[in-house]
Chain A
Amino acid sequence: MAQEIEVLLIEDNLSDTEMIKRALQRSNPNTPLLHVKDGSAALDFLFGEGAYTGRQISNIPKLILIDLKMPRVHGKECLMRIKMDARTKRIPTVVLSSSREYPDIEECYDLGANGYVVKPVASDEFDKAIMEIGAYWLKINEPPQ
């Protein structure tokens, strides 16, 4: 029986993906994580479509980490679809992006992002930020049922 996914990571950059997974493994060992490379795969997972047809979609992740700049379905569009659908709007969704531009940040909050984290450039800072995301969102924050 498949384990319930606790973290849905939507990220097209492979080296960022590796760093995120490694840091989360340190702060939150053995947390079931699903990595998808674009927004359309994320929406398929969340709504039980495409490759995920038949998935029990009432099993919602505790946290969605979403990159903004991705091919196919863009991060903002994906965020909007998550936050406009009654089945998924309560899922804590944190934007993880290299953009520090205020139009992006404000727009993401307006679309319903629960948080917004700018990816630090230095790798040790990057690790620390991810571990603090893991400490807060996976251990302390109470997810919706």
Chain B
Amino acid sequence: MELQQYDLLLVEDNASDAEMTIRALRKSNLASRLMHVRDGDEALDFLFSEGVFAGMESQLAIKIILLDLKMSRVNGKEVLVKIKADPRTQRIPVVVLTSSKEDADIEECYQLGANGYVVKPVVFDDFLKCIADIGLYWLIVNEPPYEQSKTTPS
């Protein structure tokens, strides 16, 4: 199997939100190294090279994790805690992408170490624009916390 280096991890259990997110990134040519997982367990397996991702280390070039909050099985906050508590992953930027505009969720996510928090726009065009701007900032402008030379883009 060919090893693929991913730069964006999308953790989203809602199929239509995931589809729109991927479409918006693709329109800006930002989706070529995207990995989409459907729940928190799968996200943690990917990040820690466990389960179906054992031995793959395909997480090493991740520049941004887009994390939904309300998911079945392991929820987004639990995933955020695990990412920010482990030295292997704690530097990876995590942006919470959610429909919750509740202050308590926003505060808690920042306390848990989220790098950013974005409320999914309800209007379709706004959603596409928002995802494209997230992609531009986190994949192009922001500097990821590891050396690019360590990665081998496919």
A-side residues, CB < 8 A to B, are: 89-90, 92, 100, 102, 105-106, 109-110, 112, 114-118, 129, 132-133, 135-137, 139-142, 144-145
Contacts and interface: CB of A to CB of B under 8 A. Distances in A.
Interface residues of B, number: 28
A57 to B, nearest CB: 17
B134 A136 contact: yes
Interface stretch (B18-26, B36-44, B69-77, B100-108): B100-108
Nearest to B145: A109
B119 interface: yes
Given A106-B146, A144-B110, 6 more contacts: A117-B143, A136-B116, A136-B137, A140-B118, A142-B106, A145-B103
A132 B142 CA distance: 10
A132 B140 contact: yes
Contacts, number: 74
Interface of B: 91, 93, 95, 101, 103, 106-107, 110-111, 113, 115-119, 130, 133-134, 136-138, 140-143, 145-147
Nearest to A104: B143
Contacts of B146: 102, 106
